[in-house]
Structure 1
């Protein structure tokens, strides 16, 4: 597998959307895959990989509460509907186990190790690797994560033979606890089958590398903002977006006014790795600007684009908070 630390595919990958796949990059059929892939035990300095589709679309809930809302997002001819189960929608924090599995699948494939959509996970390295507590309740929360991931259905429109069809799938197909904690409520080891959608994303390079400090972001909105910055700003010097569209793309259920207040708090705290955020209130609607933390690159690109004073204005705002 080629280096997948940067975007190797343009566009968004959806099930059946073969046009989004690079030529010759199809993953091997399940029939010739290994039956089970055991995640490589890792604690620190592992390459964190995330699929670009779930970075682009607000699939994961930002709510701290039990979220059973059916949510829908449409943009650029693609439509995504998120249908939770009685356990509630999968959250951005539940996503950690998918990121962990995808990262290890990519790592193993690069090393020539046989892989499969069915993955065995030792929970303790997962907790440490994603900077979580390793207390007793953490092992029970992992089981709840699997319940929400299994129960959340994603529906999207897919064009096949020039006909638009609706396809639904889960984030994971199934899970099984293979080793319990002493109270029989938590998981020490588990097996899960990730969706074909996520597996294809990993195998077809529709992924990006995240900064490991992503796991230290304690607020759901902080994580979502970082995902969007990484997806759209990427290796560029800056990315700007209207606050109304950003509100929509994050999947926030807050009013726009409350969203703006929370965004200002995040800007003041400046927690994101790789990027700073600034708010341009001179435009209607207001714009949000994501700026690389590489000041030399930022100044060089701004000077080249004739926008040095514009970038300097936002840079001064972020540095004075």
Structure 2
């Protein structure tokens, strides 16, 4: 079903079919899952759209690599680190079956597809469920890939690996007051089903992890460049996702040691080979939307400088000072990450210079009953934003589907304008 927006462009509408599995369900439309876990019952069936929806990924999956960079990996992926914001230790442990191995970073494309569909549905005021239905053609066309050529078999293999990969983590495991001892275990896919006709897959239906689904409720996602799917190398793919998250600050620049990137990527390569791969990527310098540069720390350690090119008007000098310090990656709140998505929209609408001059100077406050408060250091800044950008900011928040209904600008703890 299609509808036209004010600009005349056609937007494919998302639809949700309600398949009740207990009673009142039309004959032949769904079934109870024998032996299924209670939370898997009574799931609505979400129908994916074939619209050109911007790809989005879950933020926790971008901070460290949760997927194998090589096919057939059976060695566990493990991360343990101290959250710089909370000071608490977070853990991740990912294992796979001996037959299928751990899901790969290319298998992650299916999760990115589902997340992107969910966010678009919420933006349109719909309520998707974890059970999502799509055709292989929709999935492949969305990534600008031609069907055939083994794509259907690769999709089947990806479904197997996503189902058989097991994740244990303390990240976002809070329930009420956060309990640091609470560990959640899940698979990327709880169950899946395919419909075949004459040897070809006609439809795919999957139930994705509740842990993943919960994260979209507070828009814990970032928008990706559609060219991400053109990246063939696994290390390069993960580096793009990490750079997209790490450079989310106002400067759009991030520096990190090769050794730290190596550890966060969970690569099975020897470090010297991984470092060589990073140097080659710097030489190619074709990561979509980023400039890479090899710099050195004060101690002479190899570091990678990542810069989002869309956040600057002119390319800076190629040789910054050699004395570079390791930065600490602060995990931002979902509201802060959503504000980054809003800023991206506003850069396209009012220009990057205007956003940098006025909006990036605002301090994000609290969200109460749909009203989001910002604070400015100077009254004239607050007044200018109130007059020139307030309505655009509200529209941008609403366009991403976030429950912000109004914006208030304050200065030095006082409202500059109602």
The residue aligned with 2:148 is 135
Contact 1:139 1:188 in 2 (8 A): no
Contact 1:143 1:187 in 2 (8 A): no
Q: Which one has a bigger Cα radius of gyration?
A: 2
Contact 1:34 1:114 in 2 (8 A): no
The residue aligned with 1:226 is 240
Which aligned segments of 4 or more residues in structure 1 are displaced greater than 4 angstroms?
30-34, 158-163
Q: Cα deviation per residue 1:273-301 (whole Å; 9 max; x = unaligned)? A: 111111114643211110222474466xx
CA drift of 1:312 comes to: 8.3
SS in 2 for 1:169: strand
The residue aligned with 2:268 is 253
The residue aligned with 2:69 is 62
Q: Cα deviation per residue 1:31-84 (whole Å; 9 max; x = unaligned)? A: 998610000123xx4211100011112111111x31111121111111100111
Larger proportion of helix: 1
Contact 1:52 1:208 in 2 (8 A): yes
> Can you give the 5+ residue segments of structure 1 that lack an aligned partner in the other structure?
1-29, 303-307, 314-321
Q: Is 1:121 paired with 2:134?
A: yes
Aligned residue among 206, 210, 213 for 1:196 = 210
CA change 1:203–1:32 in 2 (3 A) is farther
Mapped partners of 2:197, 2:236: distance in 1? 32
> Can you give the 5+ residue segments of structure 2 that lack an aligned partner in the other structure?
1-38, 83-88, 323-418
Mapped partners of 1:66, 1:53: distance in 2? 23
SS in 1 for 2:111: helix
The residue aligned with 1:170 is 187
CA RMSD of aligned residues (A): 2.5
CA change 1:32–1:254 in 2 (3 A) is closer
Q: Is 1:90 paired with 2:103?
A: yes
CA change 1:266–1:122 in 2 (3 A) is same
The residue aligned with 1:80 is 92
Mapped partners of 2:167, 2:211: distance in 1? 10
The residue aligned with 1:268 is 283
The alignment's TM-score, normalised by the length of structure 1, stands at 0.78
Q: Cα deviation per residue 1:261-320 (whole Å; 9 max; x = unaligned)? A: 111111111221111111114643211110222474466xx8xxxxx786488xxxxxxx
Mapped partners of 2:73, 2:314: distance in 1? 39
CA drift of 1:247 comes to: 0.6
CA change 1:109–1:159 in 2 (3 A) is closer
Aligned residue among 107, 125, 130 for 2:120 = 107
The alignment's TM-score, normalised by the length of structure 2, stands at 0.60
Higher relative contact order (CA 8 A, sep 6+): 1
Aligned length: 272
Contact 2:294 2:305 in 1 (8 A): yes
Q: Is 1:187 paired with 2:204?
A: no
Mapped partners of 2:149, 2:74: distance in 1? 27
Contact 1:237 1:297 in 2 (8 A): no
Aligned residue among 47, 51, 71 for 1:38 = 47
Mapped partners of 1:295, 1:75: distance in 2? 29
The residue aligned with 1:50 is 57
Mapped partners of 2:180, 2:229: distance in 1? 40
